[in-house]
Amino acid sequence: MIDRLIVVATNNGDDRVEQIAAATDAPILVIDTDTTRRKPAPQRVLDLPHVVGWLQCPFAGYDTGAYLWAYFNVRAEHYMFMQDSCTPKDRNFTDYFHAAMRAPLGVVAWNTFDISIWDSPEQKGTVEYMYGPGPWPVRGIFGPIFYTSALALDRLAERRLLPPYPMHKVMAQGMERAWSLAFYRAGVRLTTLTESYEPDRVGMARGDYPFLVKSFGGRA
C-alpha cells in the first residue's frame, strides 16, 4: 500500500500537473474532473515513475469531487489533497504535513482562516443545508488543501460526514468550511501549518507562504 499519496485535482490541466510532477518525487495520483472532453491522459506525465495513475472522475465535482473519487478508488495510508494550481516548493514537502499530523486520526491544513467569513449568503446556506445546525469549528481549511489519513476519512464515512460531491460552484466554494466541519464533528484533530484571518492570495501566488505556491487563474 502507498504510504503517502499526493492527489492532484485537475480540470484538463496537463501542463500544471506536469509542473507539479517535476517538483516532487512522491507518488502522485491525478483526478481529472473534465467530463466534457474525455481526452486521454498525457503520456509524458504517465511515463514518470512516481505518477501512479490519471483517473477520469465520472462527475464534474470540482476539487472535492476529485478527492472523494481518489479515496473511493485508490487506497493509501495518507493523502495529500491539493489542486493543480499548487506547486511544491520542496521536493519532500509532504514530510512537513506528516510531521505535524496528530496520528493516526488527524488532519493538517496548509492554511486556515476564520470560518465565519463567507463569500455569500448562498454559500453559507449550502453548507448549513449539508450539515444542519450544531457545533462549528472556528477555522476553515483554505483551498481545501490538506493532508490526512485513510483512517480519518474512514471515520467520516462511517459517521456519514463525508461531504457530498459539489454540484455547482457555490457548493464547491463552501467545501473549505464543509471539510473542516466534518473533521470537527468526527473528532479528528485539525492542525494548521499557517493561519490567516483572511488568506492573502497575492502572497500565496508570490510564494510568501511555506511549502506551496498557489496560483489563482479564475478557472471554473
Q: What is the pLDDT of residue 219?
A: 44
Q: What is the pLDDT of residue 220?
A: 37
Statement: residue 22 has pLDDT above 80: yes
Q: What is the pLDDT of residue 195?
A: 83
Domains and CATH numbers, the chain: 2-214 (3.90.550.10)
pLDDT digits 0-9 by tens, 6-16 = 999 998 777 88
Give the mean pLDDT of 161-186: 93
Q: What is the pLDDT of residue 145?
A: 97
Statement: residue 162 has pLDDT above 80: yes
For the question of whether the overall pTM of this predicted structure is more than 0.85, the answer is yes
Q: What is the pLDDT of residue 218?
A: 55
Beta bridge partners of 191: 108
Give the mean pLDDT of 196-213: 87
Mean pLDDT of the chain: 90
Query: Which has the minimum average pLDDT: 8-22, 132-146, 157-171, 182-196?
Result: 8-22
Instruction: Compute the half-sphere exposure of residue 66: CA atoms within 13 Å on the CB side of its CA.
Output: 28
Query: Which has the minimum average pLDDT: 4-18, 27-41, 75-89, 115-129?
Result: 27-41
Q: What is the pLDDT of residue 57?
A: 87
Percent of the chain with pLDDT over 70: 98
